[in-house]
A and B are shown apart, each in its own frame.
Chain A
Amino acid sequence: MNVLRDAATVNEDDANLLVLIIDTNPLIWTRLAKSTGLSLKEALRHLMVFINAHLALKHDNEVAVIASHVDVSKFLYPIPNPHKLSEDTDQTMNSNMYQRFKVVNDQVIGNMKELFEDLSKLNSYPDKASSMIAGALSMSLCYINRIMRADEIGHIKPRIFIASVSPDSPNQYISIMNCIFSAQKLGIPIDVCKVHGEDAVFLQQAAHITGGRYLKLPTPQGFLQFLMITFLPDRYTRTYQCLPGEEKVDFGAACFCHKKIIDIGYVCSFFVIHWNNVQLAGLTNLMLASVNEGGLRVVNGIKKLDKSKGRESGGST
């Protein structure tokens, strides 16, 4: 449906705003570098070429880059009042380089370095396996909203691209879904490139619902090629492209009790919350009692219960 709507509204002359969300989870990238040889540094080099190619396609194309790290989501480009970058960024390429490429490259790489230098927080964060995708998506939507407001004639066509390596974080399920529906409402396609690992269920749904593209790399070494062929074409060009269909979209949802991704669950007819099978078997009485008793308190009750394993009295009141 999105594609059909696009065909009517997107023009060849439109400028494109590309918001890149780069998953920079250092733990996963280290593992990835060991197993496949694609390090974050190498991947970043591919992404810079991709960004430059995007800027080169049209003079008024715009780009924004957000890092989705383990403990924080942060804008890498553009940032207000960019400070002087440290001397070790490459100053030698000045003469033969398009100035815009240089500004973008320097800022992205410089800010990325800054992000990695601050490793102190890493140990304190509980969920090291995933990254702050929901935060990065919310920020990119706000940024797009700002750009679209300023652009009165509707000349700029935004899209979001996510380079993901971390597995799904069921804790972020609701917020990711909220982002997906806002993107759908605003007609912003979300492209997802899963560089490594299992299929990301939520991001797959994101691409499916917003009419973006989802690709799991068969060979991470060929990152750049997949970027250029699958994700570079703008929204206008895409109406003429024919991709092999999506093979499978997993519509799994996260349950509210264990934050696990499930296929079959129990849904409360009033406030539509999924319960995991196992949880229900053990705690049916408690839960049904509290459901009848009143509303959302049940969720809090179960959450409490999960943390303080076994202390059921806390949950049932």
Chain B
Amino acid sequence: MSKQYKYKQAKITEEFIDVDDEIQNSTQQTGYAWEEEYKRSWDVLQEDEDGSLKRTVENLQHRKRKRLFRDTATIRRGIIRHMFLIVDLSEAMMEKDLRPSRLDLTLLYAEQFILEYFDQNPISQLGIIVTKGGYAEKLSDLTEILIIMGSLTTCDPGDIYDTIDNLVNENIRVSVVGLAAEVQICKLMCKKTKGTYGVVLNEAHFKDLLFEIIPPPPVSATQNKAELVIMGFPSSVTDASPSLCACHSKPTIGGFICARCHSKICDLPTDCPVCELTLVSSPHLARSYHHLFPINNFVEVPWNNSVSSTHCFSCQIPFPPLLGVRGGAVPIENSGRYKCNKCHQHFCIDCDVFVHEVIHNCPGCLATTH
């Protein structure tokens, strides 16, 4: 089987299992959707006693919301991270219990993980290590470790307990995603180093476990003291005629102008070669702000309070009207409205998910002056 074909298969698998996660999939157009689409889709949909699918659909919706409930308390987060991703490439990864195989799925998710990691942690670093046949190669010293492990056994050259103690001493957090079954030593290691340990149930759960590690972790009080660093936010320029840059002394047309001494620099982030001011791109820093100011979780609106709202505040989609009670049919269990407790506007479930996962702004709070 060619590599490319395997990759396509992996995409398809992911597509139908993660029915509720269209935001992340919207960028991936599926290849042969018709080949796989029907294979297991009816396993997901199961009729209840009355032969209705309503409950299944609701479950799907709730699963979507479940992931949303995050801690909105303000905590101190370490935004500059240094993490190793360790991928097990032993024979155990060829098992096909996760489809298409543990290895293919891992590679697919690792690719998405890395993209998302740098999106949410723009000024962090990531190293990758693969382990195979008793060897692992380290690239550089970083402070966090994430292991994706398919094997049930480890082969340790020294005493693993000594290694764990060293990790604790060096303040290195270890998280493990196990693909097979719980391994006691991994659990102990994660617990001691304040990392997370999880064993995957199925393909979608694998992704959940992996992506939980992306948001910057809280920082314990004992870790290094925070310092204020002076930084400049240069503006970019495009000149009509080339001029010399301060860093390479080469004629360039475009560049960035140092905020303090106004010399021209080719690329960011850097230290100004003339006045030694640290220059960064402010949008880079701004990417992390939503971690600092998380928005409140929306609450479900019960039927009796929701009669007044006719449509979603942000996307204008009409809400289901109050029909069921009068018609004698079973009333729909939830009203489809979700409320922000600050601005009291009602939103649909899609906007609720979108607002918390993508925008990180409450449109109601920003668009009204309550």
Give chain A's interface residues, CB within 8 Å of chain B. Answer: 71-75, 78-81, 121, 124-125, 132, 134-136, 138-139, 141-143, 145-146, 148-149, 154, 172-175, 177-182, 185-187, 205, 208-209, 245-253, 262-275, 280, 287-288, 291-292, 294-297
Q: Is the CB of A142 within 8 A of B78?
A: no
Q: Is the CB of A252 within 8 A of B235?
A: yes
Q: Is the CB of B229 within 8 A of A267?
A: yes
Using known A-B contacts A185-B358, A266-B230, A291-B228, determine if residue A248 contacts B236 with beta carbons closer than 8 Å: yes
Q: Is the CB of B282 within 8 A of A264?
A: no
In angstroms, Cα B112 to Cα A266, docked, is 33
**The residue from B283, B351, B360 contacting A251, defined by CB atoms under 8 A apart:** B283
Q: Is the CB of B76 within 8 A of A296?
A: yes
Residues of B contacting A297 in the complex (Cβ-Cβ under 8 angstroms)? 74
In angstroms, Cα B315 to Cα A250, docked, is 32
Q: Is the CB of A179 within 8 A of B78?
A: no
Residues of B contacting A81 in the complex (Cβ-Cβ under 8 angstroms)? 310-311, 318
Q: Is the CB of A245 within 8 A of B238?
A: yes
Q: Is the CB of A264 within 8 A of B76?
A: no
Q: Is the CB of A251 within 8 A of B231?
A: no
Residues of A contacting B123 in the complex (Cβ-Cβ under 8 angstroms)? 272
In angstroms, Cα B360 to Cα A138, docked, is 9
Shortest Cβ gap from B226 to chain A (Å)? 4
Task: List 22 A-B pairs, Cβ < 8 Å.
Answer: A72-B369, A73-B363, A73-B368, A132-B366, A132-B367, A135-B363, A136-B367, A138-B361, A141-B358, A146-B350, A174-B293, A175-B366, A181-B287, A264-B259, A265-B230, A269-B226, A270-B78, A271-B292, A272-B123, A292-B226, A295-B74, A297-B74
Residues of B contacting A208 in the complex (Cβ-Cβ under 8 angstroms)? 236
Q: Is the CB of B228 within 8 A of A268?
A: yes
In angstroms, Cα B226 to Cα A178, docked, is 25
In angstroms, Cα B256 to Cα A249, docked, is 9
**The residue from B23, B74, B233 contacting A252, defined by CB atoms under 8 A apart:** B233
Given contacts A80-B310, A248-B238, A267-B280, 14 further A-B contacts (CB under 8 A): A71-B369, A135-B368, A143-B316, A146-B317, A178-B289, A180-B283, A182-B360, A245-B238, A262-B233, A266-B230, A266-B231, A271-B226, A296-B74, A296-B76
Q: Is the CB of B367 within 8 A of A269?
A: no
Chain B 321-341 against A: per-residue CB contact (8 Å), 1 yes, 0 no? Answer: 000000000000000000000
In the complex, the chain A residue whose C-beta lies closest to that of B22 is A149
Shortest Cβ gap from B266 to chain A (Å)? 15
Q: Is the CB of B314 within 8 A of A138?
A: yes
B79, B254, B316 interface centre (most CB from chain A within 10 Å)? B316
Using known A-B contacts A142-B354, A295-B76, determine if residue A275 contacts B234 with beta carbons closer than 8 Å: no
In the complex, the chain A residue whose C-beta lies closest to that of B115 is A185
In angstroms, Cα B360 to Cα A250, docked, is 24
Residues of A contacting B282 in the complex (Cβ-Cβ under 8 angstroms)? 205, 251-253
**The residue from B289, B358, B365 contacting A177, defined by CB atoms under 8 A apart:** B289
Residues of B contacting A175 in the complex (Cβ-Cβ under 8 angstroms)? 361, 366
Using known A-B contacts A263-B259, A271-B77, determine if residue A178 contacts B290 with beta carbons closer than 8 Å: yes
Q: Is the CB of B316 within 8 A of A80?
A: yes
In angstroms, Cα B171 to Cα A18, docked, is 50
Shortest Cβ gap from B21 to chain A (Å)? 12
Using known A-B contacts A251-B283, A271-B76, determine if residue A263 contacts B233 with beta carbons closer than 8 Å: yes
Residues of B contacting A249 in the complex (Cβ-Cβ under 8 angstroms)? 235-236
Residues of B contacting A187 in the complex (Cβ-Cβ under 8 angstroms)? 27
In angstroms, Cα B27 to Cα A81, docked, is 33
Q: Does B248 contact A (CB under 8 A)?
A: no
Q: Restricting to B20-47, which residues have a CB under 8 Å from any CB of A?
A: 22-23, 26-27, 29
